[in-house]
Amino acid sequence: MSLVLTCLFDQGSLSRDSLEALGAGKSIAAELGAVLAAAVIGAETGAIGAAAGEYGASKIYAVQDAALAQYYCEGYLAALEAVCRECEPAVVLFVTNAPGREMAPRLAKRLGRTALVDCLSFNADKETGSIVFTKPVFGGKAMAQVAMSDAPAVVALRRRSFEPARPEQAAAETIQVKPPAIPPNPFKLIERVEEQTAGVRLEDARVVVSGGQGLGGPENFALLEELAGLLGGAVGASRVAVDSGWVSSSKQVGQTGKIVAPDIYLAVGISGACQHLAGCSGSKVIVAVNTDPEAPIFGAARLGVVGDYKEVLPPLIEKVKEMA
């Protein structure tokens, strides 16, 4: 029976990204009539392997070695290559996060394949065993459908585009894999600095309220902060707002910023340049507030208000307060 392999890089417990990979992997495996497996790597993989089993993987391929205590590309790549040679998966799944971006193309090259990154959805064809993935191209201006007919299909999924797996109490079989050699880690971790955020992280928010040049100045982001706070969301920004020094660069959404895929993306005073849309086109619903009816953002938005945000946002905030 063919196998869908999800590559997990967590230590100890499963992150939201890994749960999404397992959730998507489960759907793909069900479509293909395949088995869902997980690759877990680290100095001690028992807990993460058990968690992957609890969330739907029925086979766990574990690479356990003291040298792999923390993630580094070359070591984890050697581990994953060994797992793939052992289990010959039909599909190898990553998430388009920092390790996923590094690993997917490198692993694909080693397996003689091409990686497809930033996938938003898929259709599986049981007859041919091929899978068609949909991903944005040209900075989100168009969607490409790419059929991955040769195994293994090495794919990285866009974060927040797939439902996370839910726990199920199934037993998983664990297979220990020993890579022929693990290259030494050329990096030494000196310090880990967590980004300071009050409230929900931009990448994890289900609602993002983003502001652009149209806000006219940093003080006007207060309205966005208030609305985002009421909705349990986070504030984002266009590059112009960041480059103007109005908000920190950690809030930038777009091609050279963060990629977000919330349920609701409210773009306020943002024109909708393709580089900005590259970071938010995976949102379930884009809502735009802009004075210019010709602004490109309206082409991407499901809902739009042509108007001055100073007139549109205050009554919206009042309405949300009433409903709270």
Q: Taking CB under 6 A as the rule, does residue 182 contact ligand FAD?
A: no
Q: Name which of residues 76 to 135 contact ligand FAD (CB under 6 A).
A: none
The stretch among 33-41, 147-155, 195-203, 252-260 that binds ligand FAD (CB under 6 A) is: 252-260
3-state secondary structure of 133: strand
Q: Taking CB under 6 A as the rule, does residue 255 contact ligand FAD?
A: yes
Instruction: Report the residue from 279, 281, 287, 304 that binds ligand FAD according to the rule CB under 6 A.
Output: 279
Q: Name which of residues 192 to 231 contact ligand FAD (CB under 6 A).
A: 212-214
Instruction: Report the residue from 270, 286, 300, 313 that binds ligand FAD according to the rule CB under 6 A.
Output: 270
Q: How many angstroms separate the CA atoms of 134 and 145, rounded?
A: 5
Q: Taking CB under 6 A as the rule, does residue 260 contact ligand FAD?
A: no
Name the nearest CA neighbour of 65 among 78, 52, 55.
78
Q: Taking CB under 6 A as the rule, does residue 313 contact ligand FAD?
A: no
Cβ(213)–Cβ(241) under 8 Å?
yes
Pair of tokens at residue 286: 């884009």
Q: How many angstroms separate the CA atoms of 264 and 210, rounded?
A: 11
Instruction: Report the residue from 64, 67, 291, 316 that binds ligand FAD according to the rule CB under 6 A.
Output: 291
Q: How far is the CB of 284 from ligand FAD (least distance, A)?
A: 20
Q: How far is the CB of 97 from ligand FAD (least distance, A)?
A: 17
Q: How many angstroms separate the CA atoms of 39 and 44, rounded?
A: 13
Q: How many angstroms separate the CA atoms of 48 and 83, rounded?
A: 16
Instruction: Report the residue from 208, 240, 300, 301 that binds ligand FAD according to the rule CB under 6 A.
Output: 240
What residues are paired with 122 via a beta bridge?
Answer: 133
Q: What is the DSSP string of 160-195?
A: TSSPPP-------EEEE---S--PPP--------PP
Residues in contact with ligand FAD by CB under 6 A are 212-214, 238-241, 252-257, 269-271, 273, 275-276, 279, 289-292, 295, 308-309
